[in-house]
Every structure is written in structure tokens, then in C-alpha cells.
Structure 1
Amino acid sequence: MVLIGRTAERAELAAALARATTGRAGVVLVSGDAGVGKTHLVSELIHAARDEGCAVLVGQCAELGESMPYLPLADALWTAAQPGAPEADAVRAALDARPVLRQLLPDGGPDPGAAAELAQQQLFGAVLGLLGELGHERPVLLVLEDLHWADQSTRHLLTFLCRVLQRERVCLVGTYRSDDLHRRHPLRPVVAELLRLPNVTGVMVAPFGPGETAAYLAELSRGSAPMTAAAVERVHRRSEGNPFYAAELYSARLDGPATGEPTELPSALADLLLSRMERLSDAGQRVVRVAAVAGRRIDDELARRVSGLDEAAVGEALREVVSHQLLVPSGTGYTFRHALLREAVYADLLPGERTRLHADFARLLAARPEGTRGVAAELAHHSLAAHDLPAAFAASVRAGDEAGRLGAPAEAVEHYERALELWDAVPDPEAAAGTDRVRLSLTAGKESARAGEPRRAVHRLRRLAEVADPADRRLGSQIREHLATYLGDIDEDDEARRTAREAVAMLAGEPPSAERAWGMATYARSLLYRDPDHEMPEYAEKGVTEARAAGALGAEAALLVTLGIWRESREADAGGVELFARARDLADTAGDSPIAAGRARFHHARAKLDRGDLVGAAVAADEGVRFVLAEGLRWSAYGIVMLSLRYLIHYTTGEWAEAARLADELPVRVVRPVEGESSAYALFVEVALGSPRAGERLRWIEPLREQDLFLNYLAGGLAAEHALWRGDLVSAAKDVDNVLGTAYGETDGAIRLAATGLWAQAELAARARVAGDAAAERAAVAAADQLLDLARTVVAVHTDGRPRAWIGLEGHAWLARAEAERLRVDGVHDVELWRRATDLFTYGDPAGDSGGGFVYEVARSRWRLAEALAETGDRDAAEAEWRAAVEVAERLGARPLLDALRDLGARARIGAAPGLRRNGDSGPLGALTGREREVLRLVADGLGNKDIAAELFISPKTASVHVSNILAKLGVATRTQAAAVAHREGLR
């Protein structure tokens, strides 16, 4: 049938698909009341996409509660992979390369290699990779229908894709019933959040107007007697413009009088929908009722076995049902033409009839091979509806296990909690579950934490710690070790430390075991933040010994990383790099702890960077990125920081083309702190380049800064630098103060912030001196003293009061810059301090054998060193430093720094002095020397002798002499007249 109306809605969808074909991924959320025509509208887009050669994947949610994780994704992949589907070969190949997705399909089977703790992140990464891979060949249209029935994991996947799809050739379309989204519906806040994203568009499908209803009914009546105008008006009024209701009213009219008037129908919609079913034969009605209980889809075999009809009879009944358009072919089976039909038929079943049909489905499902994808969840659903509690209990446990393997922790919790609710109602539950009640509840708690609900996990595990059998000390230790981890996740650090200590103490005197090793690893990690009894590092070393004795390689790796962090931060021990490498190798050997492996890789690369081994850091970071991508962990916590570290290494080594390429992949328009953190890294290069995108990125990040300490630290310092380059000194000082007033004021990162703040205060002090504002100068000096004290304090002591011996080479370089900037607040340009800062930023390798140091910061330090040398009169040395800095700034494209260097060159008369005419030029200025031209330019800017002296590194007396000579040579009496000549001659 042709699409009636919907011109604007169709254009919005077509535009989103067109953008996707050019590499601008987009999402469209289509909403509207049940029956208003959402599916018809999207079907038109699907047909158009196929005509244009797009790969099309279509999946549908089902009204089975939230028991089937990733149902629409699995539906879309399964349908697209069927032989004969246009996308079959490409989809099958993509699935074969991604076992974590392959196991979603009915024939996929479990993936024993999947790491349960990170399975959801791996699955999300695999979906993104699959869509990107398909998009390389041709644009992709992914349609997820009926999202109002989506499970929580599908909602999380939808949110993930909406946020990360950027330059893929993918168009994602989701549909949902707006009339179903009551205030507490779980999709409601998701939609509200997603519609704030710049790449997400909302399209609301409204009811027909009178003219559209008339056109729709005319299309329906094509080939038969047309309806009268009065009948059309009545249908429109009764259907309220809802196309599905209008079609049902029209269908009912076909059996009515020949007048064309619709028959009187019951006012209840259910009766209206069921009136079509009443025209079927008994066999046809039986098949429809069976399909209603089946839920989302039914095939010929299920229809035959549950209905009790023979093969010929069920085939005839299905043909009849399809011809009456109650069921429509879908893939290898049939679905209802509209979900409202299924709901009406299901609601019309007698209670006993409904129970018997659910029991029949449960028996068929129970006979299927164990482990078949989705069977356990459906079996639990049908068994519970059939009041078979033992079967529902056992199936719920299996469904929870399957959901956990699939990376659907929210659905796993739902299944486990249903089993725990039924525990006392079934015989011998431990035998059926294969575990006891406490361990099953512990598993549910762990899945709650994986689902992003650590507080819920803490609440459950606190209760378990109280009720668990005290004689089972290993179980008690496991409960407390996990509880301590989750307490740390919600910043309950003191309780976390006490609980981890209890976990270890419960196994005191026992032989080494994995449980005790993990307890020690968790406790040791808690000591990194507060070690009141000074137990580290002896405790961690003991833990390593016990973990090795127990064969707990993952725990040993975790302990080695913790020990390495402690040693390098307190003992200046270069052996930390080797510890991280050993931890990485152990975690790889264990094969069951990707978090430990990712953590070890991050610190291995980070420690090399801190030690100034830039080449080694780049190699380690590249290897770490390959690991997280291969494991499907691109969007895990360690995946994000590993990719960010690789970006920072390119930024540090001056490989800005590659850094900018990586930055282009980061979203600018962000709405959540985690997105803001990822986006903020791009600011390092964008601020240094003077890119206008830096300002746009900062505007999007600004509202999020107060929500996240690390984001505030990262963006705040770079916002201050951005403001300084633009001359906005007050904003820069405020940004620095804002960050240093938080917990980050006590960390290593405070040194860089303090140096940036001192830069601002030095400029404010200079401005105050020029203006003769003694109060403002004193305020700048006082603020500068506080900033330098803070930087020195961070270096002097650790947060637990111990002397700090190691802050990394970069930290010491920033401290040297802070010291030099503090003297500049007093108007003193100290050559030795700026030379020290320059040298330290080379990381002890001025020849570049290990990467050339921090290339950009070396150039920035040389800028100030050249300025200090010029002031002391060492013009040759100043020019050498100036030229070296200019060469780097030009190569990097660091426009703000290059502008500052050019300004210095003009003021100090080193290098080229752009904007100045040469001696020998004709005109009124021909008699002036080069220095006199510089002075005249500043006179034209309105500067007095004192200001001119400061700009040109000369004394005020010398500036006065130059001004007198200029007035005489120009033949004018006043500075104002001299400025007029300068303006007229274009000197400025």
C-alpha cells in the first residue's frame, strides 16, 4: 500500500539515511501511538534503502518482559544471515569473526572464551565493529522496532550506539509506542537523554487528519465500492485518525450492509480487533490463539505441535489466517500484523486455556537441546505462566547463567532474583540450581555490580555477610572481597579497607588459596589511597608470594601492578616498569582476567612515558591498544584510558597530525561526563593549534565539569591555557582556582595547573604595573605565592605524609616552569630557571634518541628563555633559542605560540620583525631607524614611555629619547600628531 501523508516524517528519515551514506552516522527515534503507522513509515524507508543498495538489518522486541537480552539485535542478525538475504554473506562473515555476537544466534552456542566480567563491553564493541565493517562495503540501515518492550541490555546498547556512532555509514532507526511510556517506564528517561544528543532526531507520527483518513480509506477500497463521505467522516471520528483502527473499522464494514455505512461495533477496541478473528474457521482461530501465546514469532512446526492439528490442516489454517491479514510471513515463521491484535487475542483467552497453552510450549522447549540460545528464558516465562514453579525455577537459574555469559547482567539479575523468590516454593532447590542460596545470591550481587548498580550489590552483599554460614570461611571471604571492591566503587573507602582486611583475616592460617590471594590484592589496592599503619609494600610482596603459591595468576598480576604503582610514587624505583610488564605477562597467561591485563598494560606504557622513554611508551601504548581492540574492550574503562594515553604520547612527541586524526574521532557535542572526559583529551592539540573547535568543545564540556572531578581537572587546565592565548587573564585564573579548589589540588596534576596559574598571574602583574595599580599587583603576587607553595607541597610530601621522591620527569619540568613563572610575576626573567625548564622538558635527551622530549613544551620554554636572554642583552643566544622555538611552532602548526614568538621577535629585534618598513623607504618615515619605527608603532598604540620600555626591553629614559628624535624627524610637536602620521602611513 502506498504511504498516505507523512511527507515531513518520510523526509526526515530519508535525510538521516542520506547523511549516513556520506559517513555521518545518525539515529532517528520514531514515536507514536499504537496503530498510528510507525511500522508502515519505517517499511517505506527499508524499501528505499534496499533499492539504494544499503545493507538492511531489522529486529523486533517482544512482549516477554525483560527476560530475553538483546532480542531485537539477535533477531536482526539472525534474519539478515539467512540464506537468500541480500546481506547474508557479509553478515555471516562478520559474525564468524566475532564469536561474542555469534553466540546471540539460536545456533550460536556458548562462547567459553568470553570473559563474563567484560562480556557486555565486548559485545557492544563487537556490534560497533560489525556495523562499521558492513558500512565499509555499503551504507547500513539498522531498525529496532517496538523499543517500549526492549530489555535493559538492549536499552544500554541503544544508548551506547547513539553516543559512539559518529563517522560510520550507519543509520539507526528505533520505534516505540509513545502512549505506552508512562512516568515510570524504563524507556522514558532513555529517550529523554538520547534526544539531547546532536546526532539523534525524534520523529513523532501523528494521527491522520480528515483528508488523510479519506485518502487512506480510498486506497483500502480500491477495486470495490467507495465509501460515502458520511461513512468516511464517521470512520475518522471513531478511529480518531488512527490508521490501524480505521482499517479495522473499514474491514468490519465489508460484512455490513451494502450502503457503505460501517456496522455498529462494540466500543471496546478489543472487540473491534477480535471481530476479524471471528470470521476464521475453528482451525484458524486455534492457530491464532497458539500464536498469541507463543509471543513474538511462530513457525509451522510449533503451530502444528501446540495446536494439535495435522500438517495439512495447520497449513490450510495458516493460509487462511495470512489471507485475513492477522498473521504475516516473517523470516522462517509468522508474526501478528500488529501487536495490538496479539494483545487482544491473548487477553481473550480463558484462564485455563492460557495455562494449558503455556504448558504445551514449556514442554516443547524443555525437549530442546540444553544450551540452545534463548530457550532457558522462554522456558522460564512459559513455565511460570503455566504455574509449573519447579520448571520455572530451574529455567530461571539457567537463563541467568546464559544472560551473564552474553554480557546482559541486568537480565541475569532478573532471572536470578526470580529464582531466589521461588526458592522456598520448590522441592530440593539446591539440586535444581546446582548451588546453594547464598552463592546464588552472591552471583546475583556480582551481576548487579556489572550492570552498573554497585549500591544494589553492596546492599545485597552486606546482608549476605551477615547470614552466610560462619563455618564456610572461603565463602565468607569471597563475599567480603567482592563487597570491598564494590564499596570502593561508591567511594566508601574506609569501609572497603576494613572489609578487605576481614576477607583476608577469615582465611588466616589456611594454606594459600585463590580466595585469600584475591582478598590480599583488593586490600593492597585500598592501601594505595590510605595506609595508616604503613603496611605497604611488605604486604603486597607477601600477597605476591601467596598468590604464586596458590597458582592465582590473575591475583598475582593485580598485586604486582599495585606494588609497582606504590614503588614508583614513593621510592623513585625504576623497577616499576618491569613489574608492570611481569603483571601483563601473568595476566595473559591466566587468560581469565582481562581487567588485570588491561590495567597492567596501561601502567606499563604510562610508566615509560613518565620515565621519558617516549619510544618505549609509544610501542607499549600501541600494543595496549591492540589488546583492548582485539578483546572488544574499546569502550571499557581501560580501553578508553589506553586510547587516551596513545593520543597523549603522539601529542608529547610532536606527532600532531596523528594526534589530530585521533582527536577527530572524539565527539564534540557531549552530554555526559564520561563523554566529556574522552572529548577533553582532544583539547591538548586543539588549544595549542588555536583551532576554533577548542572553543566549541569547551562550551559543550562546561556544563559537565561540576559533575566529574577528573573532567573538571582535565578541561579546566586546558580552558585556562585557551583563555591565556586569547588574552583573557581573569578567566584563566578562575579556571585554575576552580580546579585547585577540588581534590585534584593535592595530586601530581596540580603542578601543571599551578604553572598555568602562575603564567596568568605574571601577565596580570605586568598589566597592573603598566596601569600603576599597586593593589592589583599585590593581589597577583599573593596569588602567585600560594600557587608556588602548592606546587612545592605536592612534590614535597605524599597524601599520607611520607616524602615523595618520584613525580615523573614531566612533573619536575612543570615545577621548574612554575618557579620561573613566579619570578616573572615580579618582573624578573630568570635565564637559568627558564633554561632548566627547557632542559627538563627534553627528558634528559636533547638529541632526541628516545623521542626528543616533550616537543611543544620545550618550544614554549624556549620562547620564555629567548625573552629572558634578550632582556639581559645576550642577543645571539636569544636569537638561537627563538629560531629553534619558531621552527617547532611552524612544524606543529602551533599558531598561538608562533604569534607570541613573532611578537617577541619584533619587540626584541631578533629574527625577522614583521610589520616594520626598512630604512631607505620613501615617505615621511624614511628618516626613521628600525628601532624608531618600533617605538612609533607603540606610540600609535597609545603606550607611554614606561610601557614602550617594557615592550622593547629598554629603559624608560631611552624610550623618551627615541620619542623626542621621532617628533623631530617627523616635524610634529606632539605624540598625537606622530601617531596620526603612523596611522596614515600604515605603520600599524
Structure 2
Amino acid sequence: MLGPVETRSVSPVFVGRTAELATLRDALARADAAEPQALLLGGEAGVGKTRLVEEFAAAAAGRGAVVAVGGCVEIGADGLPFAPFSAALRALRDALPEAFADAAAGQEEELARLLPDLGEAGAGRHDEQGMARLFELTARLLERVAADHTVVLVLEDLHWADASTRHLLAYLLRTLRAGRLLVLASYRSDDIHRRHPLRPLLAELDRLRTVRRIELARFTREEACRQIAGILAAEPDPARVDEIYERSDGNAFFIEELAVATCQGNCTGLTDSLRDLLLVRVEALPERAQRVARIVAEGGSTVEYRLIAAVARLAEDDLIEALRAAVGANILTVTPAGDGYRFRHSLVREAVADDLLPGERSRLNRRYAEALEADPTLVPADARVMRLASYWYHAHDAAKALPAVLAAAVVARRRHAYTEQLGLLERAMELWDNAPAEVRAALRPVDYAEVYPPCGCDPATTPLRYLDLMAEAAVAGRFGGERERALKITKRALRLLEEDPDPLRAAWFWVQRSRLVQAQARGDGWQELATAQELVRGLPPSEVHAEVLAVVANWSMQHRPGPEALAAAERAVEYARMVGARETELHALLTLGGLTVESGDPEAGLAQMRQVLRDTLAEGVHPVAGRAYVNLPSALRSVGRDREAVPLLREGIEFCRRYGLLDSGAWAWGNLSEALYALGRWDEAAEAAAHATRVGHSAKPRAGGALRLAHLALAHGDLAEAARQLATARSWYGTHDPRPQQSLPLIRTAVGIAAAEGRTDDVRALVLPVLDAGFPPGTHRYGWPLLLAAATAEADARVLPAARPGRAEILDRLSTAVRTLTTGVPLWQAHSRWARAELLRAEGRDTIETWAPVVAAFECLDRPYDLARVRHRLAGALLAEGGDDERDRAVELLRLAAAVAEHLKARPLADAVARLAQRARLTLGGGKRRDPAADPAAAFGLTSRERDVLGLVAAGRTNRQIAEELFISPKTASVHVSNILGKLGVSGRGEAAAVAHRLGLLMAGTPAAERSG
């Protein structure tokens, strides 16, 4: 009907896009070299994104790459969860069946949530990490498939993407580190308005250095001319080109439409309305073909032929004739699989759909729903439930829509598409009052509500309640990251429960609210837990009661460990056993074991935690096993058994990676870093800490990695990096939920930085509030390092005049804390002796007898850096005694400490050892001599000893204090000071210090470095 022009409405000539294709080819080359690539392709509707992707995909396939394409699907404005990934993975599996099977081996049940072809998705575990587990397994699947094959993963139409697809894409682009993989995602830029859900994702991805963004511009006039020539198969008239270019404004799709319209002679009647431009060729179709086009437009992005036939209710010959007319006019196109139809351009589909009358739209949706109910095989099995729910909802039939929407919510939950589940549940709540009572009465919690709060009713026979939908929606919101929506739902639910009291249900909602409050940084969640605890008090044992007690015990272990937490954990175990809540029991047992270790019975507690780990692995309770792989090594570390913890942590990291337990994995990496630090394996510790900052799903485990990097930087002497990482850790931890296990290490590191910079007042400002609050039972493992850092800072600042005010008070407070803190294991005893020795040093009363027992205590522990530090202190005490035997022993201790400092690159310790040896005129060997030509002190004729004295003069020391530090008599110190004043040509000590600082005559950082040793 339209002649040969219409069949060429898509130009056979690919026009322009030279720079964009070059960028894509460069990315493909990088991917070929095992450097994963990610690109975002944006542009307005009709600008040519799909054509560019097709050209690139063909070129990539020609170079041997496997191209897997998936598009986001719009069905009645409802996206199918993970639709583009499901389609792309299916294409990848078809192209590389053996490689795909090997990569998915052992995880088919979980990956079936994305690709149902792999089998039945298991019931699995639904929690905050459920979606993260699926994401991790998907990323590892792609990495393994792309290990030996270059894979181009194309995801089209992100502007229609569901939330789960957006989350998965963000995770994939953040975490891909290996494989010959290129990810290319396209979206309509003109659809991304200020509140569009894709907008935050694009902003996040823009911050990733690994992601490149391409924005397609409209065609120039020259490019438009070439495009029109390709469509017409002839050189176009320049006047016609000018007219088309002006009206299309360079949009490739509009150029095509206008070129075809002008060739038909329809140009004069064509308005400037976009809608009219898009509909003009549809309206030129025969009436029957127009009707079929309207049916396809309302059916979704792609509609199967058999489903079209069922809805159109035409004779087969008539239907085929209508479809042929629409395809011939390039309005519709056949799907790649050959089983259905779609509009050649989504803009035309949207225009046709928008042109439907309200009654016409609901009638078409009803026909779709009725056809699908009558024959479910009309659409693929994985899309059936979702599409049926969408059709019935848009048919405005509450009686049919409510059960269909609830069934779709169950499917979304099984796929870990929690945000989509939440949206469907909110739609069900919207439909609830409009659905007939008999329909609601026929619904059962056992079919639709996995998190049905136990209330003594049988979920298989009790009708589904509105509160059950709210419970399911609250959990879906929490799991899917839509916590604000979930908080509003819990608030509404608790209001309803005030009108119709149900203590168990109310307690359950309060527990959910506590978790949400903590996750949203609104508080520590205790008030909500206390309310839940009060609601279940005195009630018979139940699953809710056991869960409340277990959550309270775990909260108390992290915030207020002690006898009350221990008692709550014991009751949680007892109640969980009574009602058969095995997972709650295992959680409570693990908490109980940790609290037992902290209460002073480490062997019993560790044995219990080991048993929980064995049981969870045997029973397949993976989330509790992941937590056990974090808590058990942490407990081992707390009692000084770091070497025993390391292999367990590595085993746990592999376990968490295999099962996608991202947060547990991040905590394990952080604990591994701390254990390796204690063992003197600092390079490995830094690598582990960096892993912790990358792999966590939540902020807090990543904060733990940043804090460990800060502590490492402090020990290396890089104060700027230490401060930067400390600030990062603080921002990730937040201030809404202070926990001793986080706040005390943060303060300890801050104390170390302040002390190294000579800020004694800041040290005290950090420490005094902690001393005022005290150290609750179970916090000694974090308290001892903090007390030691504070005592060391005071000892290092002893000779500073500015530190004298308030010193007596702070030393007395520290001494009291040291006397009262637990010393139940060798590590804590060693810390106690060390802290007491530093306090004596702060008063100038430490001796050989002070430090020898400290060294002996650490010689029995596997902590080389700590041992080197206390050996340095003992060496100083030996040199102060002045005997030959003491000097010989001091030399040996300093050599040992220097060797450790050099190996670990612990610059502050190395400098402190070198200065002590220099002051005592000891030769340790292996040191570097100062270059006299580069030393400004040489111009003044200062000797090495005079340089040492000048450094102490500049630090404000008196002659007596100089004598004590350099192991000389006060008279000799006075002579050195007089010589220095004469050589510098100054009249006093203050002027000498000023000259020394101005001319750089001192070793950089001498006083601060001395203090940090």
C-alpha cells in the first residue's frame, strides 16, 4: 500500500556516530584484554541508540565476542523484575551452554531467580542479604563465563527498568574486577525527569571511574541528508532536506517518519504535533490493522502471536492480513524469536496506547487477562503471573486483581525482587477494600504471607488479614532498601493494633521498626525493642517471644554487654527450643557463646560458638553460619589467639563469597586485617582492610575496613592518611547508633593521631568522656588498647610544659580504670602491665623492673610489633641505669626492635629506636649516615650531640630534662647549650629555638616522632 519506500524507512546506510563507535570499539579491545568495561548510552527517544547498539553488536560478534541482549519490559507501566538480565543470561546460556553450566554449577537453585530455565528457584532464605546474595552470585557467574570468552552484555531501555534491575546493574558495575566482559546499557535521557528513579543511579555510576557515559546528539544537516538518501535510495532534493531537517530538529526517527510522509504526499496535512507525527502512518493502515496495532500497544513491549489472536478474536486469515499490513508499513516488527510482535519504535507504541479511550483500555486489559486465564501457555511461564496481575489491575476489576496481584508479589519475593514485591503489596492494600468480602475470605496467609506473624492461628485455615499484607510489605521494604516506605507501613500497622490490640503482632512490628530505625540512622533502636519486650512479658512462649529475646540479646551484646544480655540470650535459647524455632535458637546460641567469652569464661564460650558453626553448616542455615564465621574468629582474637583465627577467617570469607553473604564477608575481611596486623603481616592486613571497604553491602562493615586502614597508616607514620581513613570510618559508622565495639576503636585511633601531632589537650578531651562513662562488662577487648594509647600519650608528653596542667588528674583517672578493667586472659594481663608501665613512665618513675615483666609477657604472645615497642621501652630503662651489662642488653633489644620496625615500615617506631640509640651513642649497624652537604647544621659547626641538644631546647626542655633524655649530667648539658648559643650567634634559648626552626636545623618531626614511639 505504501510502496517500496516504506520497506526502506530504516536507512540501510549507517550514518555518523564515528566518535561513539570508536569509544565502543576501544572498550571492546579493553575487555578483550581482560579489563572489564561498562558504558552507559543515553539519548532522547528516536535519536538512534538502538541502531548504534545493533551496529556495534554486529561488529563485536564479527570479532568473536558473544553478544547477549536483554531489554527492560513495560507491561501496563509495570516492569518485570530483572527482565533484561533474564533475557541476556538466557542468550548467554544458549551461546555458551557448557561454559555457562560450569559457571553456574552448584548455584542453579539461587540463579534460577534470574533465569528460570535453570530449574525451580528454591524457597531459600529471605533477609536483608537475600538480594545481595543473588547479585554476588550473578556477578561471579558473569566473571567466570567471561574468563575465556569476550562477552558483551547489552541492557536496553533502562528508563523502564524495575528497581531490582537497577540495583543489580549498580552492584555489577561496582564490583566487576575480572573477566573479558563489556556491559552496555542504554536509556532515554529525555525521560529522566527530576524524580525519575533512574536519575540517582546515573549519578552514582557517574562517580565510578570504571563507567563511561556516552550521550548521543542529534544528527547534523549533512548526516540527515545521508540518512534520507539511504531511505529514498536516491539523492534527495536539498529543499526537501531543509524542510525535513528543520521539522525533525535532527532526530533520526522523526527524519525517517517525515521522509516517508513527504514521499507519500502527506506532508502538507501533517501538523507539528508529535502525537500526530507518530500516528499518521498508523492511521493510514486499514481499519483492521489499526485495531490490531491498538491491541498490541496495550499488551506490552512485546506480545506473543497466540495472545494477540486470543484478544483480537479475528479469523486467522484476517489477523495475519492485518499484521502483514502493520509489518509492511514498518509499524510492527517480528520479535527475534519469531513468536510475537512489537512496535518498531516504542514512541509509536506509546502514542497509540495514549490514543486509547479509558473504557477501551480497561476492556483490552480485561480481554488480555481472560485470554491468559483461559490458556496460561499463551505467554512464557516466567512472565505469566506478573502479566496477569498487570492486566487485571488495569482492567479495574478488584475481585480478580487482588488475588492476581498477591500471587505476583509472591513471585517477586521468590526472585528477591523485594522493591517490586513492595509495590505489588501496596497495590493489594489499595485494592483490599474494593474487593468483595468473599474474595478476601478465600485468601490464606499460607499462600501469600511468608512473614506471617504467629498469633496462635493456623495460617492454612485463617483468612488473610490486612495486617498480614502490612507485615509482608514492611519486610519487603526493609529487604529492598525502601526503608522509609516500610517505616510508614509499620507506623500505620501499630496504629491499627492500638484499636484492636494483639500483643504478639504488635511486638513483631516493633522489632521490625527497631531494625528500620537503626538502618535509617534514626536512633539505636532500643526504645522500640524495649516496647516489644514489654509486650511479650508474661506471655506463653512463642516464635515472636523467642525472636524478641534473641534480638534484644544481640542488641545488648553490641551496646551493653553484661549479665542482663547474658540472661536475655539464655531465655531466647530456651524459648526458641520450646517452640521449635531452630534458626532463632542458633542465633541466640551464637550470641550466648560470645557473651560467655566476654564474661571471663573463654573456653566454654568458644566451644559453644564452634558447635553453632558446625550445626549451621550441617543444617544449611547459611546466614547464621556467615555470622558464626565472623563472631567466632572475633572472639578468638579478643583473647589473643589471632593465629588460630586467620585460617578460620579465610574459610569464612570463601563461604560468604560462595553464598553471597556480602556484609558477613566484609566483617570477616575486617577481622582478618586486624588479626594479620597483630601477627605483623601488615601488607596482607592492608589488602584485607581494602577488601572490607569494597565488598560490604551496608556501610558499617565497610567502616570497619576504613578504620583498620587508619590504624595501619598511623603505625606507618602517615598521619594525613590516618586522619582521612578515620573520617571515612566515622561517616560510614554514623553517630545515631554508638556501639562500644565501634566507638572505642575510633577514639583509640583518634588518640593516636592527636598524640603523634603533639595535641595533648585533644587527647584528654577524647579520653575523659570515656573514663566518665566507664567500661561496661564485655568491652575490655576495646578498652585495653584505648587505655594503653592514652597512657602512652601522657608518658610521651611528660616533659612538655603545656601538658602539666591537669596531668595529675588524668593519670589518676587512668590508673583507676587500669586497676578495674578485666585481666582474665594473658593478652589482657599483658596490656594491663604495659598500661601500668606507661603510667609510671608518665611520672618519671619507670625502671628496668617496670618494663622487664612487660617484655616477658609479650614474648609469650604472637604480637611482634607490640613486642618491639615494649623492648624499645625496656632498652631506655636499661640505658638510664648506665651499667655496661645494661648497655649491651639495650643494644640487643634495640636491634631487635629496629629489625621489626624496618620490616613493617613502622616509621615512628624506627625513628624512636634510632634517636634513643643516638642519644646513648650506641651503634646498631645498618643505619644510613647523614649527608653533611645536605645538613644545614654543618654550616654552623654543630656536632651531632649539639644537634640533639638543640632539638630538646626547641622542645622546651630544661638542662636537667635534657640530661635525663641524653643520659648525660646536667653540667654537660649546660655546656652544650652554651656552645650552641655561641655557634648560632643568639642570646637565649628561645631565640635559638626560633633560628633552628626557621633554618630547618632540626630533624623533621623530632618531638612528635619521639612521643609516638
Give me the identity figure in percent: 33
Alignment CA distance shift 1:616-1:677 (3 Å): closer
1:412 to 421, 426, 431: 421
The structural deviation recorded for 1:450 is 1.8
**Residue pairs, 1:551-950, within 5 angstroms:** 551-588=580-617, 591=620, 594-633=622-661, 635-636=662-663, 638-663=664-689, 665=691, 673-674=699-700, 675-685=702-712, 687-689=714-716, 694=721, 698=725, 701=728, 704=731, 707=734, 718=749, 721=752, 728-730=757-759, 734=762, 748=780, 749=782, 751-760=784-793, 762-764=795-797, 766=799, 768=800, 774=801, 776-778=802-804, 782=807, 786=810, 789=813, 793=817, 796=820, 805=822, 813-814=830-831, 816-826=833-843, 830-841=847-858, 845-846=860-861, 853-873=862-882, 874-908=886-920, 909-912=922-925, 914-916=927-929, 934-935=944-945, 938=948, 946=959, 949=963
Alignment CA distance shift 1:664-1:532 (3 Å): closer
Q: Name which of structure 1's ranges 152-161 and 394-403 shifts more when overlaid on structure 2.
A: 152-161
Cα contact 2:576–2:582 (8 A) shared by 1: yes
Q: TM-score, normalised by structure 1?
A: 0.82
Alignment CA distance shift 1:941-1:500 (3 Å): closer
In the other structure, the counterpart of 2:432 is 423
Aligned residue identity for 1:295: G
Q: Name which of structure 1's ranges 321-330 and 700-709 shifts more when overlaid on structure 2.
A: 700-709
What are the superposed Cα offsets for residues 748-783 of structure 1, whole Å, 9 maximum, x if unpaired? Answer: 5354345445555555554x4xxxxx3x2325x64x
1:295 matched to 2:322? The reply is no
Distance in 2, Cα, partners of 1:245 & 1:665: 49
In the other structure, the counterpart of 1:799 is none
In the other structure, the counterpart of 1:271 is 276
**Residue pairs, 1:310-349, within 5 angstroms:** 321-332=326-337, 333-349=340-356
Cα contact 2:665–2:695 (8 A) shared by 1: no
1:500 matched to 2:532? The reply is yes
Distance in 2, Cα, partners of 1:202 & 1:813: 56
Distance in 1, Cα, partners of 2:747 & 2:325: 68
1:521 matched to 2:550? The reply is yes
1:123 matched to 2:155? The reply is no
1:141 matched to 2:152? The reply is yes
What are the superposed Cα offsets for residues 533-574 of structure 1, whole Å, 9 maximum, x if unpaired? Answer: 965544533432332233222222222233233333344554
Distance in 2, Cα, partners of 1:360 & 1:106: 27
The structural deviation recorded for 1:123 is 0.8
**SS state at 2:86 partner:** helix
What are the superposed Cα offsets for residues 329-357 of structure 1, whole Å, 9 maximum, x if unpaired? Answer: 54425443322121012122344443343
**SS state at 1:433 partner:** coil
Alignment CA distance shift 1:953-1:148 (3 Å): farther
Aligned residue identity for 2:145: L
In the other structure, the counterpart of 1:850 is none
Distance in 2, Cα, partners of 1:960 & 1:154: 77
Aligned residue identity for 1:631: Y
1:384 to 378, 393, 412: 393
In the other structure, the counterpart of 2:460 is none
**Residue pairs, 1:396-411, within 5 angstroms:** 396-411=405-420
What are the superposed Cα offsets for residues 631-669 of structure 1, whole Å, 9 maximum, x if unpaired? Answer: 221x23x23212221232223223344334434546689
What are the superposed Cα offsets for residues 671-691 of structure 1, whole Å, 9 maximum, x if unpaired? Answer: 995555444434444554568
What are the superposed Cα offsets for residues 496-544 of structure 1, whole Å, 9 maximum, x if unpaired? Answer: 2333324533633xxx543433233234445547889965544533432
Q: Name which of structure 1's ranges 534-543 and 64-73 shifts more when overlaid on structure 2.
A: 534-543
Distance in 2, Cα, partners of 1:288 & 1:647: 62
**Residue pairs, 1:65-214, within 5 angstroms:** 65-82=77-94, 85=95, 87-98=96-107, 99-108=109-118, 110-117=120-127, 118-166=129-177, 169-214=180-225
**SS state at 1:174 partner:** strand
Alignment CA distance shift 1:4-1:458 (3 Å): same
The answer for unaligned runs of 5 or more in structure 1 is: 769-773, 797-803, 847-852, 919-924
Distance in 2, Cα, partners of 1:822 & 1:141: 64
The structural deviation recorded for 1:16 is 4.7
Distance in 1, Cα, partners of 2:25 & 2:720: 29
1:958 matched to 2:972? The reply is yes
**SS state at 1:202 partner:** strand
Question: What is the aligned length?
Answer: 928
Alignment CA distance shift 1:307-1:225 (3 Å): farther
Cα contact 2:670–2:689 (8 A) shared by 1: no
The structural deviation recorded for 1:321 is 4.1
Q: Name which of structure 1's ranges 902-911 and 304-313 shifts more when overlaid on structure 2.
A: 304-313
Distance in 1, Cα, partners of 2:413 & 2:767: 40
The structural deviation recorded for 1:124 is 1.3
Cα contact 2:510–2:528 (8 A) shared by 1: no
Alignment CA distance shift 1:831-1:81 (3 Å): same
Distance in 1, Cα, partners of 2:26 & 2:965: 56
Alignment CA distance shift 1:121-1:612 (3 Å): same
In the other structure, the counterpart of 1:801 is none
Cα contact 1:667–1:679 (8 A) shared by 2: yes
Distance in 1, Cα, partners of 2:253 & 2:767: 57
**SS state at 1:56 partner:** strand
Distance in 1, Cα, partners of 2:301 & 2:35: 33
**SS state at 1:112 partner:** coil
Distance in 1, Cα, partners of 2:559 & 2:698: 30
Aligned residue identity for 1:614: D
Cα contact 2:365–2:395 (8 A) shared by 1: yes
**SS state at 2:236 partner:** coil
The structural deviation recorded for 1:396 is 0.9
Aligned residue identity for 2:443: A
The structural deviation recorded for 1:444 is 1.7
In the other structure, the counterpart of 2:6 is none
Aligned residue identity for 1:514: E
**SS state at 1:241 partner:** coil
Cα contact 1:198–1:669 (8 A) shared by 2: no
Alignment CA distance shift 1:398-1:544 (3 Å): same
The answer for unaligned runs of 5 or more in structure 2 is: 1-11, 446-463, 932-937, 987-994, 1005-1013
Aligned residue identity for 1:81: R
The structural deviation recorded for 1:313 is 6.1
The structural deviation recorded for 1:616 is 2.7
1:60 matched to 2:71? The reply is yes
- Report the RMSD for the aligned CA atoms in angstroms: 4.5
Alignment CA distance shift 1:252-1:840 (3 Å): farther
Distance in 1, Cα, partners of 2:625 & 2:270: 67
Alignment CA distance shift 1:444-1:841 (3 Å): farther
